[in-house]
Amino acid sequence: MLQPRIPVNPLPTGVPIPLTQSTSDIEPTAPAPAPVVPARAAVQLTPGSALALAAGGGAVVLVVGTVLVSMLLAVAITGVSIALIAVVLRLLVRDMQKGR
């Protein structure tokens, strides 16, 4: 029921047949040659560019670390503030219940 159906290719040779011509007019042609891919040039790092790359990577690590530490510090400060507010509110509610 849920088995995949694979279509069958009637012409596995890869030669397209135009629909406007009859099959008797078709001449066999050689397949087109594969395009030649030029060789890629290897990237060469000079000592100066390697040093610049290392310095740039170090700067990125420092900036990302600083941002993450500051976000963690902001969360910690917010948590401490909420805890202090909760203690103060608890004391106020207890004083109100005692009738002071």
pLDDT score, position 38: 74
More confident residue, 26 or 32: 32
DSSP-assigned letters across all residues of 35-96: PPPPPPPPP---HHHHHHHHHHHHHHHHHHHHHHHHHHHHHHHHHHHHHHHHHHHHHHHHHH
Entry field: residues in the chain: 100
**What is the rounded average pLDDT of the residues 85-94?**
95
Look-up: residue for tokens 């890869």? 14
31-65: per-residue pLDDT in tens? 777 777 777 777 788 889 999 999 999 999 999 99
pLDDT score, position 37: 74
Local confidence band at 78 (pLDDT 50, 70, 90 cut-offs):
very high
